[in-house]
A and B are shown apart, each in its own frame.
Chain A
Amino acid sequence: DAGITQSPRHKVTETGTPVTLRCHQTENHRYMYWYRQDPGHGLRLIHYSYGVKDTDKGEVSDGYSVSRSKTEDFLLTLESATSSQTSVYFCAISGDANEQFFGPGTRLTVL
């Protein structure tokens, strides 16, 4: 399996609090992605990175920010969590922007 971990794996938080999710890889892949997965919507891209300090928005980026200061780490921040951001968040990595390999996911509940 690709060396990719996510932390935390589960989190419960309250509306209005900031939340940061971490994705860590040991594959030295150039591309990293954050998705959310909700029933009926499938996987939707939030933000992605194509190199250190190089990031771009996906289709559902409102309310989220990202940072990538090192090749191996990609952080997703919810500045002020809302109940609509309750979801399962997956990080993925790719060496060539084609095949992607996913982390185990983070289950986030915003009360």
Chain B
Amino acid sequence: RKEVEQDPGPFNVPEGATVAFNCTYSNSASQSFFWYRQDCRKEPKLLMSVYSSGNEDGRFTAQLNRASQYISLLIRDSKLSDSATYLCVVPFTDKLIFGTGTRLQVFP
């Protein structure tokens, strides 16, 4: 099993839709998790941190299921500007393990 696995997508959704991505991880000892957003040909940028069962920031909600070892990211009321690749990230000792990302394309 890969350390961090994500569905590569793409997820093509209309503006205003709700979309959810899942990410599974193998290291059961991980305590914190992150979602990064990466625009085409740009650097990854931290979107959300998840330290307990979940976190909400405006239209974005991240949830953690430790028993099943997965993290989800929910985006409500999608905007065109949400089009990007979303990276699931899991710490391991003093390093981060990055998923390969899920691509989201929001269309008008």
- Number of chain B residues close to chain A: CB under 8 A: 17
A31 contacts across to B, CB distance below 8 A: 94
A64 within 8 Å of B (CB atoms): no
Task: Report Cα–Cα, A56/B34, bound state, in Å.
Answer: 23
Q: What class of interface size applies to chain A in its complex with B?
A: 20 to 34
Closest Cβ–Cβ distance, residue B48 to chain A (whole Å): 10
Instruction: Decide yes or no: A97 and B94 within 8 Å by CB, A43-B87, A105-B43 being known contacts.
Output: yes
Instruction: Decide yes or no: A98 and B44 within 8 Å by CB, A40-B100, A42-B100 being known contacts.
Output: no
Nearest 5 interchain pairs by C-beta: A42-B100, A102-B43, A97-B94, A43-B98, A42-B98
Instruction: Decide yes or no: A100 and B96 within 8 Å by CB, A42-B87, A42-B101, A43-B87 being known contacts.
Output: yes
Closest to A97 in B: B94
A42 contacts across to B, CB distance below 8 A: 87, 98-101
Closest to A50 in B: B94
Chain B residues numbered 59-94 whose CB sits less than 8 Å from any CB in chain A: 87, 91, 94
